[in-house]
């Protein structure tokens, strides 16, 4: 009897201890019991886990270089550069939700893990609003189109903010460069696929692009859900597994706050990324450049060719750069310096181009710079995370930098091109306007490189 009583007491004590530990885990450190296996991932698994990068690359590249410029011209040929700047500003503003989505995914206790539930939700809403965007475009309902575009961007940001958190969650530190190289390759090959599909399959018909976007979002989300090996975080005592948990307003405010004193190197990496995207956003106006300066009768076809060349060279450089940096175990800044130098020289060289051949050569050079930058930028951000257990929150802020840059660049460049490049022909811009636009991009790339000199850990 004593033995049975002791055994029962021990069991009760163990149960109480387990409950107290559960309380401690949920209140003090919700990740202390979260120890996902970080075994080296095979290349096929890396590609399937981060397959959304392919869809994201296809959409963003074709959106900002083909779809939005053509849609802006449909709204108003005379004011197309201003409308294009407004669309990109909308995209930038929607990126402000990324830190909040990152925080929510960091504490998500769903049985699928922290990231996949938000990717699925983003995919469902994304496909819905992309369908609405298609309807609005076909019927020229531009107010509805703008709303659907904003909601589509919010959905894509939800997916991307959740996905980037998988890198520190699932990838061993020795493989971070390779993983980010895979993401960069998927992104640039996605862009290449989008341009090729638009030109060779869709015969330059815009509605088909929206159908392609919907298919890619849906299929890559399914692939990620099946491939990512996430571990759910512990459930709070007497709690339940769910996607959304409440957050104090003070914590939400903190998610938008970065300073060099508190967040060190991560602050400078994020600031550098902002200037890089301000520089790269000059490509948004390239369809107009081909029409006005190169005198192409079919600038949409020219953009597809040039973008294909750039994406091919980026794909060739991205993965080797990431793999090489992992083997060196340092030197990510060195690759970014080189990429920014190539990009600055390339953008300046466009001012001297007057035929398609020279533009193609420079596009290939710029593609190499982009591939190296995209691979190293994300790897350096993961290296410099202030707290790896809140990776999605911080990488959400880092993601905001790209869209702030992508929005600020055209918001500044669009009016500059419009006012400095006006000609007697409505809708045409002069070389002086493009010179100002491209010179600003060169300055942005130089600043992006100089800011990284503040980063100590590399």
- Cα distances from 308 to residues 59, 200, 315, 347, 360, in angstroms, run 14, 12, 10, 17, 10
The sign of the CA dihedral 212, 215, 220, 223 is negative
Q: Which residues of the chain have pLDDT under 70?
A: 1-38, 235-240, 242-245, 247, 252, 255, 329-330, 458
User: What per-residue confidence (pLDDT) applies to 458?
Assistant: 63
- Per residue in 304-339, pLDDT (tens digit) is 788 888 888 888 888 788 777 777 766 788 889 999
CA distances in angstroms from 275 to 64, 178, 270, 315, listed in the order given: 18, 24, 9, 22
Cα→Cα distances 367→29, 157, 283, 373, 386, Å: 43, 24, 12, 10, 31
Give yes or no for a contact between 232 and 117, defined as CB atoms under 8 angstroms apart: no
The pair of structure tokens assigned to 168 is 């520190």
Spatial distance between the Cα atoms of 414 and 434, rounded to a whole number of angstroms: 10
Say if residue 338 is exposed, middle or buried (CB neighbours under 10 Å; 0-12, 13-18, 19+): middle
Report the pLDDT value the prediction gives residue 9, as an integer from 0 to 100. 40
* Tens digit of each residue's pLDDT (9 = 90 or more) over 121-133: 999 999 999 999 9
pTM summary value: 0.70
CA distance 278 to 417: 15
Residue 359: CB atoms within 10 A of its CB come to 23
- Map residue 203 onto helix, strand or coil: coil
Provide the H-helix boundaries in 293-390: 299-328, 332-349, 356-383
| Residues sharing a CB contact under 8 Å with residue 86, sequence separation 6 or more, in sequence order | none
Rounded-to-integer distance, Cα 86 and Cα 96, Å: 16
Q: How many CB atoms lie within 10 A of CB 174?
A: 12
- Where helices occur in 329-351 by DSSP H, the ranges are 332-349
Q: What is the pLDDT of residue 27?
A: 36
What domains lie within the chain, and their CATH numbers? 41-232+246-454 (1.20.1250.20)
What CA–CA distance (Å, rounded) separates 126 from 113?
21
- pLDDT given at position 240: 66
Residues in the chain: 458
CA nearest neighbour of 455 among 167, 260, 179, 318: 260
* Backbone torsions φ then ψ of 206, nearest 5 degrees: -65, -40
Asked if residues 136 and 145 have their Cβ atoms less than 8 Å apart, the reply is yes
349 exposed, middle or buried (CB, 10 Å; 0-12, 13-18, 19+)?
A: middle
pLDDT of residue 110: 82
Q: What's the CA gap between 157 and 87, in Å, rounded?
A: 16
445 CA to centre of own chain: 18
Angstrom distance (rounded) from CA 121 to CA 73 = 33
């Amino acid at each position: 009897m004593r033995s049975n009583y002791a055994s029962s007491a021990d069991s009760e004590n163990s149960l109480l201890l387990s409950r107290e530990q559960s309380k401690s885990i949920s209140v003090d450190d919700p990740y202390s019991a979260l120890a996902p296996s970080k075994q080296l991932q095979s290349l096929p698994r890396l590609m399937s886990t981060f397959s959304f990068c392919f869809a994201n690359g296809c959409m963003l590249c074709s959106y900002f270089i083909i779809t939005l410029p053509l849609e802006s011209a449909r709204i108003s040929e005379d004011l197309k550069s201003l409308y294009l700047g407004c669309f990109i500003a909308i995209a930038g503003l929607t990126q402000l939700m990324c830190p909040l989505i990152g925080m929510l995914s960091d504490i998500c206790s769903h049985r699928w893990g922290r990231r996949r539930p938000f990717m699925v939700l983003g995919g469902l809403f994304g496909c819905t609003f992309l369908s609405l965007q298609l309807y609005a475009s076909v019927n020229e309902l531009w107010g509805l189109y703008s709303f659907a575009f904003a909601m589509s961007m919010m959905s894509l940001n939800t997916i991307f903010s959740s996905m980037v958190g998988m890198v520190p969650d699932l990838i061993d530190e020795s493989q971070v460069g390779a993983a980010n190289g895979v993401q960069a390759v998927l992104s640039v090959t996605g862009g290449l696929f989008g341009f090729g599909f638009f030109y060779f399959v869709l015969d330059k018909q815009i509605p088909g692009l929206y159908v392609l976007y919907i298919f890619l979002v849906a299929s890559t989300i399914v692939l990620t859900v099946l491939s990512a090996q996430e571990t759910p975080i512990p459930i709070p005592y007497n709690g339940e597994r769910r996607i959304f948990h409440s957050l104090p307003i003070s914590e939400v405010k903190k998610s938008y706050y970065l300073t060099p004193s508190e967040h060190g190197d991560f602050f400078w990496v994020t600031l550098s990324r902002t200037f890089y995207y301000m520089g790269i956003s000059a490509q948004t106006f390239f369809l107009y450049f081909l029409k006005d300066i190169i005198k192409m009768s079919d600038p949409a076809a020219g953009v597809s060719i040039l973008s294909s060349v750039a994406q091919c060279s980026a794909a060739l450089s991205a993965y080797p750069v990431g793999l090489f940096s992992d083997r060196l175990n340092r030197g990510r800044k060195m690759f970014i310096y080189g990429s920014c130098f190539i990009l600055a020289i390339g953008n300046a060289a466009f001012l001297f181009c007057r035929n398609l051949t020279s533009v193609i050569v420079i596009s290939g050079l710029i593609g190499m710079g982009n591939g190296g930058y995209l691979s190293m930028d994300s790897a350096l951000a993961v290296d410099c995370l202030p707290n790896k257990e809140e990776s999605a929150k911080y990488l959400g802020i880092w993601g905001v930098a790209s869209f702030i840059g992508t929005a600020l660049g055209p918001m500044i460049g669009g009016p500059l091109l419009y006012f400095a490049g006006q000609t007697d022909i409505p809708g045409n811009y002069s070389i002086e306007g493009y010179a100002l636009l491209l010179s600003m991009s060169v300055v942005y790339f130089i600043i992006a490189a100089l800011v990284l000199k503040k980063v100590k850990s590399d």
